[in-house]
């Protein structure tokens, strides 16, 4: 996974995750302002924007870093590829995850500033309940299974649309509205808006997402025993250095 310099890949993960959180938070703010009396419509506006935005961001930065944009995806990529010598190395993982978390925070700050809010405004939205944690387990496990099933079956080219579509749908079929991403969860604590999550709720969500990672990897082992073979295609194939 060293075809493109690690510094470039880390920059792509930072920028991509920042844009993703800016899309999630910014569309949530806009939805709240345009549809103040209708929570369902606000969720529809937020989820639709996120689904399309995520697909576009994957297309934008995917050729550089693979567009993981999510520590869960990066950890799974490293875990599945470690024996076959494919996917992320431990050094790559140690760079990807901080870049994703920093990008998520930057994206939340950017969205706040674009809508004339305080750069950092800790969320007061409490999401610390067991039903929401279960929703995060389901959302994260499904995301892991989808991404690595596409890579293993040679269908990584459709990942932007498939991942965007899955996240858009999971907004509606999970009780948690599908954060499914520890970095995004941390970033969303920095905004007291429609998409926010109280800092005290972050550990529970991240813990549930890690459980979802394990469940997703277990499902992969059952359905795709050699899933590690295709991890260099996650989320999408990358360019070679110099291009």
CB-CB contact of 143 with 223 (8 Å)? no
191 within some domain: yes
90 within some domain: yes
1 within some domain: no
In this structure, what CATH number is given to the domain that contains residue 219? 1.20.1080.10
Output phi, psi for 188, to 5 deg: -70, -10
232 within some domain: no
Q: How many domains does the chain have?
A: 1
pTM: 0.94
170 within some domain: yes
Give the structural domain span for 133: 6-224
33 within some domain: yes
Q: 37: burial class by Cβ within 10 Å (0-12, 13-18, 19+)?
A: exposed
d(Cα 29, Cα 32) in Å, to the nearest integer? 5
233 within some domain: no
Per-residue pLDDT of the chain (243 residues; tens, 9 = 90+): 456 899 999 999 999 999 999 999 999 999 999 999 999 999 999 999 999 999 999 999 999 999 999 999 999 999 998 877 788 999 999 999 999 999 999 999 999 999 999 999 999 999 999 999 999 999 999 999 999 999 989 999 999 999 999 999 999 999 999 999 999 999 999 999 999 999 999 999 999 999 999 999 999 999 998 877 777 778 887 766 554
235 within some domain: no
DSSP string, 2-38: -SS-HHHHHHHHHHHHHHHHHHHHHHHHHHHHH-TT-
Alpha-helical regions (H) of 66-189? 71-81, 90-114, 130-152, 159-173, 182-188
> What angle, 0 to 180 degrees and rounded to 10, lies between the N-to-C axes of helices 159-173 and 39-65?
150
């Amino acid at each position: 996974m060293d075809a493109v310099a690690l510094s470039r890949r880390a920059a792509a993960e930072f920028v991509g995750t920042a844009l993703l959180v800016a899309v999630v938070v910014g569309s949530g703010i806009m939805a709240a302002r345009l549809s103040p009396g209708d929570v369902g419509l606000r969720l529809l506006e937020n989820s639709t924007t996120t689904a399309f935005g995520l697909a576009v961001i994957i297309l934008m930065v995917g050729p550089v870093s693979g567009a993981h944009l999510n520590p869960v995806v990066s950890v799974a990529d490293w875990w599945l590829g470690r024996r076959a010598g494919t996917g992320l190395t431990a050094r790559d993982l140690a760079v990807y995850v901080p870049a994703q978390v920093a990008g998520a925070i930057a994206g939340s700050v950017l969205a706040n500033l674009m809508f004339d809010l305080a750069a950092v405004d800790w969320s007061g939205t409490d999401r610390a309940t067991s039903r929401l944690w279960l929703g995060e387990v389901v959302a994260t496990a499904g995301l892991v299974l989808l991404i690595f099933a596409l890579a293993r079956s040679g269908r990584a080219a459709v990942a932007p649309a498939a991942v965007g579509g899955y996240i858009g749908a999971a907004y509606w079929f999970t009780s948690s509205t599908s954060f499914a991403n520890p970095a995004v969860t941390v970033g969303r604590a920095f905004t007291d808006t429609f998409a926010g999550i109280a800092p005290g709720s972050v550990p529970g969500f991240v813990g549930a997402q890690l459980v979802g990672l394990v469940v997703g990897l277990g499902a992969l082992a059952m359905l795709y025993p050699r899933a590690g073979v295709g991890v260099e295609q996650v989320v999408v194939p990358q360019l070679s250095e110099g291009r």
